[in-house]
Structure 1
Amino acid sequence: MERIIKIGKTLRTNWKKSIFGAVVVYYGAATLKEKYEINLLMRAACKEAVKYGDALIPMERNPTLVTVILNPVANKRRAKRDYEKYCEPLLLLAGLQVEVIQTKSEGNAKEIVESLRGTEAIIIAGGDGTLSESITGLLRRNDEANRFPLGILPLGSTNSLGNALFPGGDGVDKVKQLIQACMAIIEGNTEWKDAIKIEPLSNEGEAPSRPIYAMTSIEWGAFRDIHSRKDKYWIYGPLREYASYVFNGYKDSITWDCSGSLKYSPLCAGCSNCVTKRPEIKRKWTFFIPETKTLPESDKTQVLNPECSILNELCFKTSEFKINPQNINGLPGLGIHIGKNKYTYTEFVSEGWRRLKGKNESVDTIKARTIELLPHDPKPDTVIEIDQEDFEVKPVKITILPKIVKFYCKPEIKV
């Protein structure tokens, strides 16, 4: 009893050291527990992957060749470490023939995918920037490369589509997410998804710019600017996003004025106006080799829809502008969100905090198939965000491309 009393007096006398020691012990125990749970997860995942690696394949069939596009500097240079620690062992144990190509600069993933040959699947190991570049490189190709599947290993600091396909978090949840992404690739679960084509509108006499492609969103305005500055307030830890609204909600450097005009066409299931008929491919030696008869499919180029070619026009002025792909009553389309025009400082901070809690402001959505965005005199430093990547604000034509990219995904998350 005397010993317990003595310990209590010592702790009370040296309370600062006692609190520091308790914190160190707590975080040490939490770290050990996290490592133990991760080891259990990886052991179970490796056992599952080995089952696929031990399966027999035909003698004339080589192991499946997959190419990993790895951004080694993604997520503050943690992407390469996490890939080698959690992802690569599972892919190799499953019997896949893995070729890793590391990106060397911004835009390099686009160039790699455009020139890639001889692979059966592409795996993007990085964040939204690496994925956006890879999608653009893939859809710029003139061959049938977009027919083979694309895998996502969400290893970046922002992973919009990766988180939608494989919900995750930090610590153990992050490892679970990576394991799910790897097992989707190993098991071969795929689903076609829509993409967005963004074509810069050229003036007369200018050479047309090549299009870029996106998967998740196009954002412009104050809320986007605030979100991009959150990492400057890292000192506030998990509250840095809230702090970003507090310290930036009154600044003129935020894009409070998004103004311009829109020309958009309505949704259409496919008709002679919006479906391009594929040219008939003539085979050599058709006189000697009879063609295989196939059942005729419905030809949408013969369908007439007068409303499809009608362009609606709209002028807007707002502090928030956003476009994202949506499936609207079974039809692939684009949702145009035009937010509130003006906010007071208090209203803006309150609305931002509400959004951080998952309570978004209800905004009417305009549904469209194609959009021409014509901004009105944006400031020189104003940027528009396409899949979390910054671009100069300029006139563009935006088109939905239905079911154009095949992704590996979990069976229950097919969308």
Structure 2
Amino acid sequence: MEKAMRFAKIVRNNWKKSVCGVIALYYGAATVKERYEINLLMRAACKEASKYGDYTLPIDQNPTMVTVILNPVANKRKAKQDYEKYCEPLLHLAGLQVSVIQTASEGNAKEIVETLRGTEAIVVAGGDGTLSETITGLLRRNDHANQFPIGVLPLGRTNTLGNTLFPSGKGVEKVKQLISASMAIIKGNTVWKDAMKIEPIEQNPESPNKPIYAMCSLEWGAFRDAFAKRDRYWMYGSLRDYASFIFNGYKDSLNWRCIADLKFSPPCAGCSNCLKKRPEIKRKWSFFMPSVPQVHDQALVENQACETKTELSFKTTDFRIRTPNVEQVNSDPPGLLITIGKKDYTYKEFVSEGWDRVKQDKISDALQARSVELIPKIPDKETVIEIDKEEYEAKPIRITLLPKVIRVFCARDQ
């Protein structure tokens, strides 16, 4: 009996080793195949990019100057490595004069862009937070620098705008996305995108706060809080987003009570109340300055409805405002999309809807507005709102849509 048990144990151990060997061989083969496909992709992309670098420029011109704002700690410090591996070679092969500035701390991208000189385009190599800081620095300037086209290299943990501009994925598909984003900069295809301006309603006259700008979303509530905690469940790998809803769906640490007053005005195509004429600026480099569609001057148009405001009070678990960039809505006139979720969720409902959002986060039945005043009724504990994945203290704020104010490099068919 003892010999039989010993024999069974040896067979079981050998079986385990065999299975582990097969799994290791499978994943090793998958890795080799993935590397091979990536090498083929990069070889083809480099060949295409070099065609743009072969053009002979007049002797009095320099290569087009591009400034890259790189967040080296984005995506768990993988952003710098991926940029140098998949993006930078293509930009150099295309003959662009590339200057890379690495951010040193949170908020540093704003400071860099506010004082930036001697560039013809800005490329954001990072995620949503780096992009928001760059846009904020750009629109705070008073020299109409928003005419600079913006390149988006989706190298962050969250790349909301980048994923709408270029198809996203993992592994080989991620490399394809980075190649597409780099080639869009090289080819010079651009599209105008919306932004939203966020400013405090209650200003301190002695030290007024500057507005911040975002291109994607504002979120507040329990669903946002659960997403923010997902890194705590790193041991679950790709399932950590789902695990966060399972383990936090019953906790009081989430903000289950978002209470606020809301005032919003209807969308407006442009009138004397809300539109400022965009000045035309002529620059040396026509490569980055495709023609802008001419529209009639709406600054003199009067729209009485633009000044009307709808007021409501709400108590909810989930509050979101998104720009048309995220939902890819082409409404006329354009408007911010406001969603107010249910007041109460059971544990099962919360987990189920959270999982649905992990798979596909789309909103429906949204209110539309040009400007929004959000006045939170803050409870005793501290609460935060999230603007393009950056956390801010919840205070009374005014959010205003700025239609077609940022020019972004994109694929040709957009």
TM-score, normalization by structure 2: 0.89
1:342-381 matches, within 5 Å, as 342-358=344-360, 363-381=364-382
* Conservation of the 8 A alpha-carbon contact between 2:203 and 2:209: no
* Conservation of the 8 A alpha-carbon contact between 1:250 and 1:345: yes
Q: CA deviation at 1:272?
A: 2.3
Q: CA deviation at 1:121?
A: 0.5
For residue 332 of structure 2, what is the amino acid of its counterpart? Answer: G
Q: CA deviation at 1:208?
A: 2.3
1:289-304 matches, within 5 Å, as 298-304=296-302
C-alpha distance in structure 2 between counterparts of 1:349 and 1:184, whole Å: 39
Q: CA deviation at 1:311?
A: 1.4
For residue 342 of structure 1, what is the amino acid of its counterpart? Answer: D
SS in 2 for 1:101: strand
Q: CA deviation at 1:19?
A: 1.2
* Conservation of the 8 A alpha-carbon contact between 2:185 and 2:410: yes
Q: CA deviation at 1:275?
A: 2.7
Change (3 A) 1:345 1:53: same
Structure 1 position 305 matched with structure 2 position 308: no
Match of 1:335 among 328, 334, 337: 337
The residue number in structure 1 matching 2:177 is: 177
* Conservation of the 8 A alpha-carbon contact between 1:338 and 1:363: no
The residue number in structure 2 matching 1:4 is: none
* Conservation of the 8 A alpha-carbon contact between 1:338 and 1:364: no
**Superposed structure 1 runs of 4+ greater than 3 Å apart:** 10-13, 203-207, 276-279, 296-299
The residue number in structure 2 matching 1:403 is: 404
* Conservation of the 8 A alpha-carbon contact between 1:11 and 1:18: no
Structure 1 residues 44-73: Cα deviation after superposition (integer angstroms, max 9, x where no partner)? 000001100001222222110101111111
SS in 2 for 1:124: strand
C-alpha distance in structure 1 between counterparts of 2:233 and 2:259, whole Å: 29
The residue number in structure 2 matching 1:210 is: 210
Change (3 A) 1:158 1:56: same
1:134-173 matches, within 5 Å, as 134-173=134-173
SS in 2 for 1:151: strand
C-alpha distance in structure 2 between counterparts of 1:22 and 1:410, whole Å: 41
Change (3 A) 1:11 1:120: farther
The residue number in structure 2 matching 1:38 is: 38
Q: CA RMSD in A?
A: 2.2
The residue number in structure 1 matching 2:80 is: 80
Q: CA deviation at 1:12?
A: 6.8
SS in 2 for 1:14: helix
Structure 1 residues 199-231: Cα deviation after superposition (integer angstroms, max 9, x where no partner)? 011257563210000000000011111111111
SS in 2 for 1:411: coil
Change (3 A) 1:298 1:23: closer
For residue 96 of structure 1, what is the amino acid of its counterpart? Answer: L
C-alpha distance in structure 2 between counterparts of 1:210 and 1:85, whole Å: 37
For residue 341 of structure 2, what is the amino acid of its counterpart? Answer: G
Gaps of 5+ in 2: 1-9, 280-293
Gaps of 5+ in 1: 1-9, 280-295
TM-score, normalization by structure 1: 0.89
1:232-243 matches, within 5 Å, as 232-243=232-243
C-alpha distance in structure 1 between counterparts of 2:176 and 2:379, whole Å: 43
C-alpha distance in structure 2 between counterparts of 1:113 and 1:300, whole Å: 30
Change (3 A) 1:379 1:181: farther
C-alpha distance in structure 1 between counterparts of 2:103 and 2:183, whole Å: 24
Structure 1 residues 82-101: Cα deviation after superposition (integer angstroms, max 9, x where no partner)? 11111111111110011111
C-alpha distance in structure 2 between counterparts of 1:265 and 1:61, whole Å: 49
Using the TM superposition, name which of 50-59 and 201-210 deviates more: 201-210
Q: CA deviation at 1:274?
A: 2.0
For residue 229 of structure 1, what is the amino acid of its counterpart? Answer: K
The residue number in structure 2 matching 1:193 is: 193
- Alignment: residue pair count: 390
Q: Whose Rg is larger?
A: 1
For residue 305 of structure 1, what is the amino acid of its counterpart? Answer: N
